[in-house]
């Protein structure tokens, strides 16, 4: 099991200068390899990671002697990333590789033999000890490290291989369905609702002001660089607020529910709606799913992902009747067959929970963990909208 821990660094001026040189070397090697790859491809010569690295090393001493001022991993990892980018392109998983630009996603890679950690100090070749804002959270064998810059702040992401999970398994055998949405970020089949944080919406006014100031600055000036850093720091704050909230929510779910059922949303298609695209992006459904999946593996939980076309909102959780049409304005699901009146999101969460019976769990196990809500004589017909418990950021349990 390999986990990564990202920690902020507190480097001095000398260390910052080394970081910038290393990032520049990694960026130059990537761009040089991409240009050489395209140039040789036109004359019928194909490359891979080993051939392009060998070609670069043969001319590095004579043409690029400044590359020896930093670790050799900076250039070697760039060719590995370039090789992976071309493989993803030919497999139609990504677009054609593009040249890297200075100041955008600056980072460089270090192998395990060039990284040492002692308490809150990081040691890499050709540099003194670098201060970290916290100690490593996990214990194990260090596999690699990536030093990166975000909003003019430096971080190190350390990958650690561990023999066992650092977290205890979830003891609660209860199952839950989770419905994601814009009005309520997550609605559980128990009736509990988690309000969206709306981090971007709350900081949108200050972001507009900073971006207006940036647009008025002269290009390539020092003041423009300062204004650009202010915008980047504001976006970084929005990102941190959103990620922190999602971490608390996913940790709460994996700690309290052994079996979790979620839906496979087509986020790329949903953001095509120009009226809802900003709100959908602010909720970060993809990040929620990513965190829930890896935390479930750490705690030995079972995750069931419903099919993308499963009618969780249109299906009645009591009798199974499916409505042909259901508008977004209908916040209460009213079944014409059995007369059930359930909150729209709670109804969808109950349908997702019922899928656990056919998602790999036996009927006996499902009956033990799910209670009586999945039976035909369930009491959800009387579950009205005002009974749903709503949890906002002020009352959310900090984990």
Q: Which of 345, 363, 389, 394 is catalytic?
A: 345
Residue 47, CA distances (Å) to 62, 81, 262, 355 in order: 22, 13, 42, 48
Quick one: which H or E segment has residue 345? helix 344-354
**Residue 307 a catalytic site member:** no
Q: How far apart are CA 158 and CA 115, in angstroms?
A: 9
> Residue 212: is it exposed, middle or buried by C-beta count within 10 angstroms (0-12/13-18/19+)?
exposed
Question: CA distances (Å), 115 to each of 7, 124, 336, 366, in order?
Answer: 14, 5, 65, 47
Contact (CB, 8 A) for 357 and 363: yes
Q: What sign does the CA torsion over 373, 377, 379, 383 have?
A: positive
Residue from 106, 263, 282, 343 carrying the catalytic annotation: 263
Give dist(CA 175, CA 359) in Å, integer: 12
d(CA 52, CA 70): 19
Query: Could you confirm whether 345 is annotated as catalytic?
Result: yes
Residue 230 in 3-state DSSP? helix
The C-alpha atoms of residue 197 and residue 186 are separated, in whole angstroms, by: 11
Angle at CA of residue 44, ends 42 and 46, nearest 5°: 100
DSSP 169: P
Structure tokens at 232: 């980047």
* Whether 83 is catalytic: no
CA distance 186 to 200: 18
Question: Pick the catalytic residue: 179, 293, 386, 387?
Answer: 179
List, by residue number, the catalytic residues: 179, 263, 345
């Amino acid at each position: 099991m390999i986990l990564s821990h990202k920690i902020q660094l507190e480097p001095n001026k000398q260390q910052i200068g080394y970081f910038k040189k290393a990032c520049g070397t990694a960026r130059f090697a990537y761009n040089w390899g991409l240009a050489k790859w395209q140039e040789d491809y036109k004359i019928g010569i194909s490359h891979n990671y080993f051939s392009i690295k060998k070609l670069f090393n043969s001319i590095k001493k004579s043409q690029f002697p400044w590359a020896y001022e930093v670790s050799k991993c900076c250039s070697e990892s760039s060719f590995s990333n370039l090789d992976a980018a071309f493989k993803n392109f030919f497999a139609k998983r990504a677009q054609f590789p593009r040249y890297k630009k200075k100041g955008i996603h600056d980072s460089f890679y270090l192998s395990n033999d060039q990284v040492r950690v002692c308490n809150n100090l990081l040691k890499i070749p050709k540099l003194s000890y670098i201060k970290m804002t916290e100690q490593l959270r996990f214990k194990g064998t260090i596999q690699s490290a990536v030093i990166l810059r975000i909003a003019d702040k430096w971080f190190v992401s350390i990958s650690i291989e561990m023999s066992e999970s650092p977290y205890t398994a979830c003891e609660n055998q209860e199952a839950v369905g989770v419905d994601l949405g814009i009005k309520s970020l997550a609605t559980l089949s128990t009736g509990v609702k988690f309000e969206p944080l709306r981090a971007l919406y709350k900081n949108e006014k200050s972001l507009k002001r900073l971006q207006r100031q940036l647009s008025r600055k002269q290009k390539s000036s020092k003041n423009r660089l300062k204004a650009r850093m202010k915008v980047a720091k504001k976006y970084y704050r929005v990102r941190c607020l959103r990620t922190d909230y999602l971490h608390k929510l996913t940790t709460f779910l994996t700690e309290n529910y052994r079996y979790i059922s979620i839906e496979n949303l087509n986020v790329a298609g949903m953001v095509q709606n120009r009226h809802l695209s900003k709100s959908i992006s602010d909720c970060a459904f993809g990040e929620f799913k990513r965190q829930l999946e890896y935390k479930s593996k750490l705690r030995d939980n079972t995750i069931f992902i419903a099919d993308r076309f499963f009618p969780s909102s249109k299906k009645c959780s009591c009798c199974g009747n499916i409505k042909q049409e259901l508008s977004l304005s209908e916040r209460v699901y009213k079944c014409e067959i059995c007369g059930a009146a359930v909150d729209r999101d709670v109804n969808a969460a109950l349908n997702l929970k019922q899928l656990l019976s056919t998602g790999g769990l036996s009927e006996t196990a499902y009956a033990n963990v799910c209670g009586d809500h999945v039976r035909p004589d369930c009491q959800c017909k009387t579950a009205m909208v005002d009974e749903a418990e709503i949890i906002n950021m002020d009352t959310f349990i900090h984990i």
